[in-house]
Amino acid sequence: MSMVVLIGLLLIGGVIAWWTERINSDWPRWVALATVSAALLYLLRIAASLSLESFELVPDPHDGASWLLHLKLAWIPRFGINFELAMDGLSLLLVALTLLLGLIAIASSWSEIDFKTGFFQANLLWTLAGVCGVFLALDLFLFFLFWEVMLIPMYLLIAIWGHENSGYAAMKFFIFTQFSGLLMLLSIVVLAWQGAATNGLLSFSYFDLLGLPLEGPLAWVTMLGFFIAFTVKLPGFPFHTWLPDAHTQAPTAGSVLLAGILLKTGAYGLLRFCIPLFPDISAQFAPVAMGLGAAGVIYGAILAFGQTDFKRLVAYSSVSHMGFVLLGLYAWNTLALQGAVMQMVAHGVSTAALFMLAGSLQQRLHTRDMRQMGGLWHQAPRMGACAMFFALASLGLPGLGNFVAEFLILLGLFAVQPWLCAVAALGLISAAIYALWMMQQTFQGEPDTDRQMRDFNGREMLAMTTMIVALIGLGLYPQPVLDLVQPTLDALQHEVRSDFIRAVATTSAAQ
Amino acid sequence: MTVLWLIPFLPLLSATLMLLSAGRMPRYLAAWLGVGSIGLAAVCVALVARAYLADYQVQELTLWTWMSIDNFTPRIAFRVDGLTVVMMSVITGVGFLIHLYSVEFMWEDESICRYFAYMNLFVAAMLLLVMADNLLLLYLGWEGVGACSYLLVGFWYRDPDNGRAARKAFIVTRIGDTAMALGLFLLFTELGTLDIQPLMAAANDRWQIGDTLPILATALLLGGALGKSAQLPLHTWLPDAMAGPTPVSALIHAATMVTAGVYLIARLYELFLLAPPTLAVIAWIGLLTLLLAAFTALAQKDIKRILAYSTISQIGYMFLALGVGAFASSIFHLVTHAFFKALLFLAAGAVIHCLHHEHNIFRMGGLRTRLPVVFLSFLIGSAALAALPFSSGFFSKEGILLSAWTQPGIGPWLWAGGLLGALLTSIYSFRLVFIVFFGETQTEPDRQPGWQMAVPLIVLCVLSLVGGWFVLPLSGVLPDPGHEPVSHLVEYISIGTPLLGLTIAYLLYLGRQVSIASLMASPAGAAVQSFWYGGAHIDKLYHLLLVRPFTGLAHWWRNEPVDLLYNALVWMTRWGHGRLVVLQTGELRWYATSMVFGLLLLLAIVLRDSA
């Protein structure tokens, strides 16, 4: 039940936060902070109550009982739909990341949001609840439900509290995700129907649907439904165009949530569902997916360099970094998969920090246009130092988490696709180009000495320090995170036939 | 209890403290921390070196396993042999002197705390680079020094030109680093480890001399070395990197970081010996670079740019030595070069410091009597750079030239090229000395260097003079076949060439026996001058071929071309809406008519089918 409590806590906390706005517009912030802190502590308590050995056990993908936590309640028995949640190391890691970045998002919205604070915090908490649900749901119908739950509050966050062109951006975000979500729903139904045909039992459970013998055009279309839904969210080239608009217009907390965790649901979906449910087709499809990944890496980096809007630049850098995730997932060996998971975490942290910086700059200067900045180090050295740190993290400086991630992905990728690896490695160069150009335009250069600007205060420095420590920790001693997800990856790799890699290599050789 | 871990840890700790203080640390405390941490690290290095020299026992220390995935288990671990001892001594020894010098040089800068933080961070990263027992940790140090170089070149961030130079330094070296990363992927994929010793053993087991894979792997690693060590074609960043404070140029862009490429190749020499074509390429690149940079140095006006090109040229000698297999000679030149080039940069810094930040040598002159200590330093440094007999540079450069001569086949060509370079080196070194320190005074110095500047200069003078007699503990670590005895004529020519250069420089720039001005005034002379002044226009070429297309593409695409596709969808939807909305008139007769027509149509279809 603990997982239900966790999600319920966030949902109810949202309602309370909304309600307390009637008393005082400050209260919702404190309620939200308390709710997410409580959820995080509760999650840690759950994790602490499990035995150490259970973290080393490989969770059987056909049997939820072997997972760290498993809950199955009948919901709509007539259609074989259950309320089924389960947690393994991967979900635990991502839920923890979600809650941690939730705290950061609340901190970054603290002084930025000054109207309808209650409804804002409510939407923020509901988004978090939806994301936690996505990471925990193992019934496909329930998964789809949570997928939608995280979409709508996010839409409202952008539409209501966004910037000058928020209506357009929110609508674009909604249509892209909603349309691709619809494709996924169709795919889920087709899959359940196929499962019923094979097993003689209608079920939406992941544990029942895994390992179905799927062939032919229908299977391809079904797989593509999942792939498109997840790649839109990731976002992968060429489905990424909603992201720069959404990020630019979203309030800071919205950008933090979007970049930090919502994008990761796409990567999670590919890893948990799309590839394991369709192993054979995915193996044939892998070269295409990896090609899209490499294209995203390069394309995102070039466009990031071309931007003048701070947030758009960071948004395109996300497109570039998420291209690495796509590459790592479809390379499907242990190194690349570990790298992809590490990238989900490290990019979540580093990009959240960059968006928080962007938000702070906009709040102080009332512009995101970097041409109107320059020399800000003079006014705000602490902001400058933080920006420099995260710019270096973003370009993959060794010793920080992002380097571990990208190095592992490329190392794993080299074994299957050396040429594609060489192309993707160009992303390392272009990342340096845009990250340093960003620093030049904002914090370096001749300062405008008339400009008055407040440096980071204690609250903001606390948020930044947390993320700096996290990235250094991930960079110098990533082992705990690697160990946490290794059993899950073992299980998935075992499920997806081990000759996947060979299939990937031969398909690419044939092309 | 080993002190090994303290060596990189001390500078790292002091850098962290200074960064955490966020500039609030008093400047004398920052100076004490900055210099003191390097001093203590140097003491630790001395202890380690003494232990090593006692029994030539390799020291190893594993701190923790960085990550462990399947068989990929890089550790945070150090391995100290003779080569590492030499490098650590240079880094902490010369580094300490330069830090001490910086106290005075940077005292009036408001950001002195940030300066020392970056400098200490650099030393820590450089130490990690040379102490690493595996290539991944080495790569951490490798990128770390690059980042510190970026931060220090752009230290005076207010001038956008400094920022441009800093970015250029980072990005150009990153191009090489990316090749190097691919090299690491290849080595790990093929050999299953990145630990240096097992890696070389495995390479020797599995690969034959001249196989494709070692050639490919070493070529990729060479990419990294070319970038970091500013060799053709990735040398263009180093002259611009002179935008940083002069002690930075002395430490990073002369004595230590730029020699990392030489260290890398020497460290992995067994691998490179499996790839003779790569070694040949290294030798030729070294030769080309040393000649190109020497010609360019001859045409420069900025005192630091002259020294920068001379650094590129001297590293070219080291590459030449590596290419002909004289690994120990290369490291020997690395060490003596660290002494005399640090000396030259610090002396140049003293000139700049005392002359209100003047960089142009033609606005200097006559400083011989005004700044005697600096003059002496420059004289000794230039003598060593030009390899005049009995200076430290003489011994190390002789070794390289004679090793090149004895190389079978191409040897004499390499030797002749190196000799031409030595002639040019001697000319441009003494051109600098004669213009800056002789003749009429152009600018009066407004101060004299204090003890923090003078002491490092004097110590480095001594090292530049006696450094040639040092015996580096490299036997058993690096192979140096030495060279077979060569005819005395070759030796005499090698010794005499720098003296010839000195004479030419004297005639051109001091004795005024030959008018350099009239030579420059002729059209051909002016064209040659402008060609070399612009560094053979390689920068312009890169700008045209790489920078412009990239920025142009980014500018062209900045509004998201992919959105055209989605906008077309939107447009088609709107268009369809526009057409279909006409049907919704709200007029009953129109609806009724359409229904009748529809019914008729359906009837017609049904009747046709049944008929």
Average of pLDDT values for A192-199? 86
Which contiguous run of DSSP H or E holds residue A8? helix A2-20
Residue A344 lies in a domain: yes
Residue A80 lies in a domain: yes
Contacts of A303 in chain B (CB under 8 A): 554, 557-558, 560
Q: Rounded CA gap, A443 and A440, in Å?
A: 6
Q: Is A168 an interface residue toward B (CB < 8 Å)?
A: no
Residue of A nearest to B564 (CA): A241
Q: Which of A303, A378, A446 sits opposite B557 (nearest CB)?
A: A303
pLDDT band at A500 (very low <50, low <70, confident <90, very high): low
Count of alpha carbons within 13 angstroms of residue B124, beta-carbon side: 23
**Model pLDDT, residue B123:** 94
Q: Which of A135, A165, A195 is the last residue of a domain?
A: A195
Contacts of A336 in chain B (CB under 8 A): none
Q: Residue B62's beta-bridge partner residues? A: B77
**Model pLDDT, residue A499:** 53
How far, CA to CA in Å, does A169 sit from each of A128, A157, A223? 21, 11, 28
Same domain, yes or no: A174 and A297: no
Q: Rounded CA gap, A246 and A87, in Å?
A: 30
Q: Rounded CA gap, B392 and B469, in Å?
A: 7
From the list A412, A393, A417, A416, the residue with the least C-alpha distance to A475 is A393
Distance in Å, alpha carbon of A195 to nearest chain B alpha carbon: 35
Cβ-proximal residues to A170 (8 Å cutoff; 6+ apart), any chain: A155, A156, A158, A159, A162, A246, A249
Contacts of B188 in chain A (CB under 8 A): 411, 414
**Model pLDDT, residue B210:** 85
Which segment of A238-247, A306-315, B462-471, B562-571 scores lowest on mean pLDDT? B462-471
Residue for token pair 């940069």: B345
Please, are residues A352 and A390 in contact by the beta-carbon 8 Å criterion?
no
Q: Rounded CA gap, A74 and A71, in Å?
A: 10
Cβ-proximal residues to A351 (8 Å cutoff; 6+ apart), any chain: A259, A260, A314, A317, A318, A321, A394
Please, are residues B332 and B472 in contact by the beta-carbon 8 Å criterion?
yes
Which residues 213-252 of A are in CB contact (within 8 Å) with B?
237-238, 240-241, 244
A–B CB contacts, 8 A cutoff, strictly below: 134
Let me know how long chain A is.
511
Residue A40 lies in a domain: yes
Residue A245 lies in a domain: no
From the list A344, A449, A438, the residue with the least C-alpha distance to A389 is A438
Contact A241 B185 (CB under 8 A): no
**Model pLDDT, residue B482:** 62
Residue A231 lies in a domain: no
**Model pLDDT, residue A102:** 92
Q: Is A474 an interface residue toward B (CB < 8 Å)?
A: no
- Quick one: DSSP state of residue A366? S
A197 has a pLDDT exceeding 90:
no
Same domain, yes or no: A143 and A11: yes
Helical packing angle, B411-437 and B276-298, nearest 10°: 30
**Model pLDDT, residue B96:** 93
A260 has a pLDDT exceeding 90:
no
Measured at the alpha carbon of residue B146, what is the angle toward residues B141 and B152, in degrees to the nearest 5? 120
How far, CA to CA in Å, does B580 sit from each of A97, B572, B583, B600? 49, 12, 6, 21
Which segment of A197-201, A319-323, B164-168, B329-333 scores lowest on mean pLDDT? A197-201
Q: Rounded CA gap, A47 and A49, in Å?
A: 5
DSSP line for A449-480: TT-------HHHHHHHHHHHHHHHHHHH--HH
Q: What are the residue ranges of helices labelled H in B299-443?
A: 303-323, 327-354, 367-370, 372-385, 392-405, 411-437
Same domain, yes or no: A164 and A291: no
Q: Rounded CA gap, B381 and B339, in Å?
A: 8
A505 has a pLDDT exceeding 60:
no
Q: Rounded CA gap, B17 and B173, in Å?
A: 29
B510, with CB counted inside 10 A (0-12, 13-18, 19+), is middle
Q: Where in the sequence is the domain holding A441, given as residue range(s)?
A: 278-511
**Model pLDDT, residue B445:** 77
Contacts of A342 in chain B (CB under 8 A): none
Contact A397 B560 (CB under 8 A): no
Distance in Å, alpha carbon of B357 to nearest chain A alpha carbon: 19
Q: Rounded CA gap, A375 and A360, in Å?
A: 16
Q: Is A375 an interface residue toward B (CB < 8 Å)?
A: yes
How far, CA to CA in Å, does A320 sit from each of A239, A300, B319? 13, 4, 37
Q: Is B357 an interface residue toward A (CB < 8 Å)?
A: no
DSSP line for B25-88: S-HHHHHHHHHHHHHHHHHHHHHHHHHHHHH-PPEEEEEEES--BTTB--EEEEEE-HHHHHHH
Q: Rounded CA gap, B306 and B298, in Å?
A: 7
Please, are residues B99 and B43 in contact by the beta-carbon 8 Å criterion?
no
Residue A216 lies in a domain: no
pLDDT band at A506 (very low <50, low <70, confident <90, very high): low
Which segment of A203-212, A315-324, A348-357 scores lowest on mean pLDDT? A203-212
Please, are residues A259 and A247 in contact by the beta-carbon 8 Å criterion?
yes
Four-residue CA torsion sign, A341, A343, A347, A350? positive
Q: Rounded CA gap, A305 and A314, in Å?
A: 10
pTM of the model: 0.91
Average of pLDDT values for A36-59? 88
Q: Which of A195, A210, A233 is the last residue of a domain?
A: A195
Model confidence pLDDT, tens digit, residues B307-350: 999 999 999 999 999 998 888 889 999 999 999 999 999 999 88
Residue A381 lies in a domain: yes
Which ipTM did the prediction report? Answer: 0.91
- Quick one: DSSP state of residue A60? P
**Model pLDDT, residue B514:** 65
Distance in Å, alpha carbon of B167 to nearest chain A alpha carbon: 7
Count other Cβ atoms within 10 Å, centred on residue B594: 11
Q: What backbone torsions phi and psi does residue B497 show, to the nearest 5 degrees?
A: -55, -50
- Mean pLDDT by runs of 10 across the 611 residues of chain B is 85 91 83 91 92 87 89 91 91 92 87 91 94 93 93 90 91 93 93 91 89 92 93 90 89 87 93 92 92 90 90 93 88 92 91 83 80 87 88 86 82 87 90 84 78 87 86 78 72 84 82 69 78 82 87 86 88 91 84 91 88 66
Q: Is A9 an interface residue toward B (CB < 8 Å)?
A: no
> Which structure tokens are listed for B270?
């067994």
Residue for token pair 């705290």: A103
Please, are residues A239 and A275 in contact by the beta-carbon 8 Å criterion?
no
Strand B75-80 and strand B59-65: the pairing is antiparallel
Number of domains into which chain A is organized: 2
Contact A335 B72 (CB under 8 A): yes
Same domain, yes or no: A292 and A185: no
If DSSP codes are grouped into helix, strand and coil, which group holds residue A86? Answer: strand
Domain ranges across chain B: 281-514, 564-610
Same domain, yes or no: A348 and A484: yes
**Model pLDDT, residue B515:** 67
Please, are residues A468 and A350 in contact by the beta-carbon 8 Å criterion?
no
Please, are residues A182 and A173 in contact by the beta-carbon 8 Å criterion?
no
Choose the mutation target among B174, B175, B188, B547 for the interface with A, i.e. most A CBs under 10 Å.
B174
pLDDT band at A498 (very low <50, low <70, confident <90, very high): low
Q: Rounded CA gap, B179 and B220, in Å?
A: 5
**Model pLDDT, residue A511:** 44
Give the CA diameter of chain B: 120
Q: Is A443 an interface residue toward B (CB < 8 Å)?
A: yes
Contacts of A415 in chain B (CB under 8 A): 189
